Chains A and B, each alone.
Chain A
Amino acid sequence: MYRIGEKPYPTKIMRDKLYELILRGERLDGRGPYQYRPLELKTAIIEKADGSAMVNLGGTKIIAGVKTALGQPYPDTPDQANIVVNAELLPLASSFFEPGPPDEKAIELARVVDRCIRESKMLELEKLVYIPGRSVLVIYIDVYVLDYDGNYFDPAVLASVAALATAKTPLYEVKNGEVVLNPDIRPSLPIRKVPVSVTIGLLGDKILVDPTSLEESAIDTSIVIGWSDEDEMAAIQKNLQGLIQLSVMDEIIRVSREKSIELRTKLMEAIGRVGAPL
């Protein structure tokens, strides 16, 4: 018989091992508890997209592409451009992923990326309205997980934000009440903030940042926190089953804030912006 909350034996052995290591400040791949895996970020890799980025975070590889089109605004936001985020956990990325329409995990990923971008007010969506209530820019962000070794949230946000920040989109103008394309210029999107997310795994009251897929299989639960800048969070998603002890919450926020600053610095280097965006 299994005791309450106990995992299958291979997982339980792994959990106990991870916990034993983390008590000494160590992890299986040699990282410290608060250390990210090596991050690589390349932009403008898909010529046919308006913007694109590829992110490698350790063994997790994610590509994001941005396309834009003219469209109608949502009825509740007639004076804002639309953002549409879609994410796919491709079957080539892992034996855990299966072909087919986005499942609940892919939908959750897309909605968390959407929340980080939308709630941080990253884009000045008001500036991309041509005729209020009738014609606005629709920004499609498509995220594909190509290789999966844990934590798809953070690289998906990094890739999406990098793709948006480096995108060159068609310029539309209003002439005689008609929205027409100006073929001569492709401006950048108006950027206000550079959001990043930080994923934290929990083993009891111990924190481990950026869990690998092996760690994800054994941790008690995890939480993703999106930061719009150094001081403000824009999105949170507790993810996976399991309890977060209230007493660890302060530490989670403190560590995620610290890590978000580190990630944003790397992201800004990759997208060629130094200092605060504005």
Chain B
Amino acid sequence: MRKLVIAISMLAFAGSAAFADPILDRQALMKERGKIAGGLSKVVKGEEAFDAAAVLTALQSLEANAEKLDIDAHFPAGSDKGDTTASPKIWEDTAGFKAGNDKYVADVKAAVAAAPADVDALKAQFNTIGGDCGTCHQGYRIKKG
């Protein structure tokens, strides 16, 4: 209990600093990523009008977010223990995990580079990127109760 209190206080101190805790850091990055994707999906589904400038801004923040995730720093050995749904497979097959992440980063960058001019172009990019999410979540994450 005391350890927990100390840990929480330390986290509070560290705030959003990058060195706080790799598990919390990577979870925060994933949450942010989901939020951005959620905004884009509203456009893809036609719930919001397509605005090329706004879409490009969203894709750029997705890119900035993607570049922040550093597999070695955010998934150090031993960080499968604790309040995480990371699968041990990340450390058994780090190369495969990194390849999945690299593809995601590349697809996001490609989307920014080819700034979509209409909703159909965005939809195609969004489906590719969404598939990349599934690739890693399929093999490298374990749902827990």
Real binding pair: no
By a beta-carbon cutoff of 8 Å, the part of chain A in contact with chain B is none
